[in-house]
Amino acid sequence: MPSIFILSLTVLMKLCLRLMVKNTHKTGILISVFLIFFFTYGAAYDVVIGFRIKNLIIDSHKFFIFFWCACFIFAVHLIIRIKWNLRILTNFLNIMSFVLFVLVLINISVYKLKTNDVKQIDLTFERTKNKDNNEKETISSSFSKDILRDIYYIILDGYASSSTLKEIYDFNNAEFEKHLISKGFYIATESRSNYVLTFLSLASSLNMKYINFLTEMLGDKSKDRKIPYQMISNSEVMNFLKWNGYKFIHFSSGWGATNYNKFADLNVYNSRANEFWMILIRTTLLRLFENHFIVYVARKRVVSSFSQLGKINRIKEPKFVFAHIIPPHPPYIFGADCGPVSKTSLEMSGGVWEQKRNYLNQLICINKKVEMLIESILLQSSISPIIIIQSDHGTASTFIDSDSGTASWGNPTEKMIRERTRIFNAYYLPDFNEDEEYIYDSITPVNTFRCVLNYYFDTNYGLLEDFSYYSNYDYPYKFINVTGIAKYD
Asked if pLDDT for residue 124 goes beyond 50, the answer is no
Query: Positive or negative, the Cα torsion across 223, 224, 230, 236?
Result: negative
**Three-class SS string for 184-210?**
CEEECCCCECCECCHHHHHHHHCCCCC
Q: Which residue has the higher pLDDT, 32 or 22?
A: 32
H helices present in 22-85, as ranges: 24-48, 61-81
Looking at residue 168, what is its pLDDT?
A: 96
Supply the pLDDT for residue 366. Answer: 99
Identify the residue with better confidence: 358 or 146.
358
- Whole-angstrom distance, CA of residue 225 vs CA of residue 200: 9
Q: Rounded to an integer, what distance in angstroms lies between the CA atom of residue 290 and that of residue 18?
A: 31
Average pLDDT value for residue range 374-380: 96
Mean pLDDT lowest for which of 84-88, 225-229, 351-355, 438-442?
84-88
Distance CA 308, CA 304 (A): 6
What percent of the chain is predicted at pLDDT more than 70?
A: 78
Distance CA 138, CA 142 (A): 12
DSSP 230-279: HHHHT-HHHHHHHHTTPEEEEE--SSGGGS--TT-SEEE-S-S--HHHHH
Mean pLDDT of the chain: 84
Q: What integer pLDDT is reported at residue 131 of this predicted model?
A: 41
Q: Are strands 56-57 and 266-268 parallel, antiparallel or unpaired?
A: unpaired
**Rounded distance between C-alpha atoms, residue 86 and residue 376, angstroms:** 67
Q: Residue 288's pLDDT band (boundaries 50, 70, 90)?
A: confident
Q: Do 35 and 6 touch, CB atoms closer than 8 A? A: no
Q: What is the pLDDT of residues 344-371, one digit of tens each?
A: 766 766 678 889 999 999 999 999 999 9
Q: What is the mean pLDDT of residues 393-401?
A: 86
Mind giving me the DSSP string for 282-331? HHSGGGGGHHHHHHHHHHHHHHHHHHHHTTGGGS-S-EEEEEEE-TTSSS
Task: Please state, for a pLDDT cut of 90, what percent of the chain lies above it.
Answer: 55
Q: Quick one: pLDDT band at residue 375, thresholds 50, 70, 90? A: very high
**Residue 128, pLDDT above cutoff 90:** no
**Bigger pLDDT: 65 or 228?**
228
Structural domains in the chain, CATH included, are 2-84 (no CATH), 150-486 (3.40.720.10)
Best CA proximity match to 388, nearest among 447, 433, 332, 336: 447
pLDDT surpassing 90 at residue 256 = no
Is pLDDT above 70 for 100? no
Please tell me the predicted confidence (pLDDT) of residue 477: 98
Biggest CA-to-CA distance, the chain: 88
What pTM was computed for the model?
0.79
**H or E element at residue 57:** strand 56-57
Q: What are phi and psi of 302, to 5 degrees?
A: -70, -50
Predicted confidence at residue 143, as pLDDT, reads 60
